[in-house]
Structures are given as structure tokens and as C-alpha cells.
């Protein structure tokens, strides 16, 4: 396959859904696979998208957009895309005619719709038509005829409900591991999860590459990073040492280094939203 920036983009979670984004909840039968749908129309603000270990489909129904990654590599986009799991941020540069419809999958969710190892999409963007062929055109057609928000949600539900397949032993193992790699009261390690699932570490990594797109270790690191963002959203955030402890970092310095690695900025600058050059910062 072509290199990351040859086709298109990189991907990510909206922790706080900005007002210009309309978030749509998918059908309950899709709750294991799709996090939410979202719609954004006719807004010119550029958006810095941070990684969260998920994959998305991005339908561009309006004027072209362009993307830069952390290395300022530049790409013009006007097609419908699969944006894979990514380890670094990227920036969407918009124009007034842009009209985006997004499908944000849960970690490992995309695999249930395409029988392709999702690692092929990691840290890159590919044309949706290269993977879905005629179905990509069908999806664009039905969305182009849906003008109301609820109608868009219904059309997306109909499209994905016909294609979702979630039952398999391997998928159950990955779902169990993904749930336990979230940052909460649990302190599960990858080794613990392998022992509980009765598989080797090598096998677990292979399953994650196939179904999630990144290794379990990287997913755990990203989950800790997004947990920091979640804690920074509250009106009275905790102290940095408290956040470091709750998010399972060794110390405050470890938190800062990891945060900079994923976002390109320190957590304090993120919190203050300084030096962002007018960017809106999100996680799709």
C-alpha cells in the first residue's frame, strides 16, 4: 500500500464535543462497535485532532479540506476516507464550504465491518473506495439525500446494521482486553490480560494489530493520555501529582513527557490553550 501521506490523513476522540459538532448516538445494536456519528458544517476553524486509539470514517460532503501532520507534511483531501489509529496528532485545515460527516468507531470496532487487518490503516488515511468499492459510493449517495440530522442517523444505522459481525472468540478476547486497558480502578497489565485469556503475549499483540491497529502497550499508553485530558476538563482539576497517580504514571515528569509525545504540547499549555495559533483542539 502507499505511504501514510500519499492518500490522505491520520486520526482521533472529542472529549468535549464543540458546539459546531452535532453528535449522533448510533443504534443500540451497534454499541459494541461504533462510539458515535458526528456532523460538522460550514465552519472555518482549523482543528488539531489528538490520538485516542480509535479509527474513523470521514465523509467529506462539501468543499475540499487539507491536512498537516506533526512533521508539517501537507495533503489536500476531497474524498471519503478511512482514518486509522494514530500515535501523533494531525491538523484539519478547513474552508467555509466544508461539510463533514464522521463515524467514530470504538477501539477495535472497525474490524467488525471489514474483514481486513486494521493495522494496514494505522498512522495513515486511505480512500474509503479502495476498501469498500461500490459500497462507498452507496453510502455517499444515501447521505447526500439525507438533509435532516435524524435522517442522517437513520441512514447510517441502516448501512452499518447490515454489515456488522461481532461474534468470534478472538473478538471477545480483544474486547475483554480493550475494556481492561482503560484507566480506572483496575490496574490490569498486558501480562495479566494474557494470563487471564490464556494466550501468549505474542498472540495478544497479533490480535490487537489485526483488530485494533496498535499494540496493547500503545493502546494502554494512549488511554492514559486521554484520561489526563478527561481529568483536565473538569472545572476544578486536580493537582498534577494527583493526575499522574490517577492515570497510572510513574510521576509528573512521566506524565508530561507522554503528553508531549502524543499531542505536541505540554499538559499545561493544553489546559491554558495558549500558543495554539487559533486552533480548536479535539479528539475525534
Instruction: Give pLDDT, residue 7.
Output: 32
- Rounded to whole angstroms, the Cα distance separating 7 from 32 reads 29
Model confidence band, residue 24 (pLDDT cutoffs 50, 70, 90) = very high
Question: Is the alpha carbon torsion for 102, 108, 114, 118 positive or negative?
Answer: positive
Q: Which among 44, 47, 190, 60 is positioned nearest to 128, based on CA atoms?
A: 60
SS3 content of the chain, % helix, strand, coil (to 5): 40, 15, 40
Over the stretch 63-78, which tens digit does the pLDDT of each residue have? 777 777 776 666 666 6
Number of H helices, E strands in the chain: 11, 11
Least confident of 5-14, 70-79, 218-227: 5-14
The C-alpha cell at 67 is 491536512
CATH architecture of 4-161: Sandwich (2.60)
Rounded to the nearest angstrom, the gap between the alpha carbon of residue 38 and the centroid of all alpha carbons in its chain is 12
> Which position has the higher pLDDT, 157 or 70?
157
pLDDT at 173: 86
Q: What is the pLDDT averaged over residues 149-175? A: 85
Name the pLDDT band for 220 (thresholds 50, 70, 90).
very high
Whether residue 235 has pLDDT greater than 80? no
Q: Which residue has the higher pLDDT, 20 or 59?
A: 59
Q: Can you give the pLDDT at residue 15?
A: 34
Alpha helices by DSSP H, listed for the chain, are 4-7, 128-132, 134-144, 149-161, 169-180, 190-197, 201-211, 216-232, 240-246, 252-263, 267-272
Q: What are phi and psi of 76, to 5 degrees?
A: -90, 135
Task: Kindly state the DSSP code that residue 280 receives in the 8-state scheme.
Answer: E
Of these ranges, 66-70, 145-149, 256-260, the one predicted with the greatest mean pLDDT is 256-260
pLDDT tens-digit map of 111-130: 888 877 899 889 887 888 88
Q: What number is the average pLDDT over the span 127-147?
A: 87
CATH dotted code for 169-277: 1.10.10.60
* 50 burial level (CB within 10 Å; 0-12, 13-18, 19+): buried
What gap in Å lies between CA 99 and CA 69, rounded to an integer? 21
> What's the whole-number mean pLDDT along residues 174-191?
80
Domain coordinates in residue numbering, the chain? 4-161, 169-277
d(CA 114, CA 95): 31
Quick one: average pLDDT of 186-204?
A: 85
pTM: 0.85
CA–CA separation, 13 and 126 (whole Å): 19
Residue 37 clears pLDDT 90, i.e. is over it: yes
Amino acid at each position: 500500500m502507499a505511504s501514510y501521506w500519499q492518500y490522505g490523513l491520520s486520526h482521533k476522540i472529542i472529549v468535549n464535543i464543540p458546539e459546531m459538532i452535532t453528535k449522533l448516538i448510533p443504534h443500540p445494536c451497534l454499541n459494541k462497535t461504533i462510539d458515535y456519528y458526528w456532523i460538522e458544517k460550514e465552519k472555518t476553524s482549523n482543528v488539531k485532532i489528538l490520538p485516542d486509539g480509535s479509527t474513523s470514517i470521514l465523509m467529506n460532503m462539501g468543499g475540499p479540506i487539507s491536512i498537516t501532520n506533526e512533521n508539517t507534511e501537507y495533503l489536500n483531501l476531497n474524498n471519503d476516507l478511512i482514518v486509522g489509529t494514530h500515535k501523533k496528532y494531525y491538523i484539519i485545515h478547513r474552508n467555509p464550504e466544508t461539510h463533514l460527516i464522521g463515524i467514530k468507531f470504538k477501539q477495535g470496532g472497525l474490524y467488525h465491518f471489514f474483514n481486513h487487518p486494521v493495522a494496514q490503516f494505522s498512522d495513515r488515511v486511505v480512500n474509503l473506495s479502495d476498501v469498500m468499492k461500490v459500497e462507498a459510493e452507496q453510502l455517499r449517495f444515501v447521505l447526500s439525500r439525507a438533509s435532516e440530522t435524524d435522517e442522517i442517523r437513520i441512514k447510517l444505522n441502516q448501512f452499518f446494521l447490515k454489515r456488522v459481525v461481532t461474534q468470534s472468540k478472538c473478538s471477545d478476547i480483544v474486547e475483554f482486553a480493550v475494556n481492561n486497558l482503560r484507566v480506572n480502578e483496575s490496574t490490569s497489565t498486558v501480562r495479566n490480560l494474557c494470563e487471564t485469556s490464556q494466550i501468549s503475549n505474542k498472540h495478544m499483540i497479533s490480535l490487537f494489530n489485526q483488530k485494533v491497529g496498535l499494540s496493547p502497550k500503545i493502546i494502554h499508553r494512549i488511554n492514559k493520555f486521554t484520561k489526563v485530558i478527561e481529568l483536565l476538563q473538569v472545572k476544578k482539576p486536580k493537582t498534577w501529582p494527583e493526575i499522574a497517580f490517577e492515570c497510572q504514571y510513574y510521576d509528573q515528569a512521566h506524565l508530561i513527557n507522554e503528553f508531549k509525545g502524543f499531542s505536541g504540547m505540554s499538559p499545561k499549555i493544553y489546559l491554558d490553550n495558549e500558543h495554539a495559533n487559533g486552533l480548536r483542539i479535539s479528539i475525534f
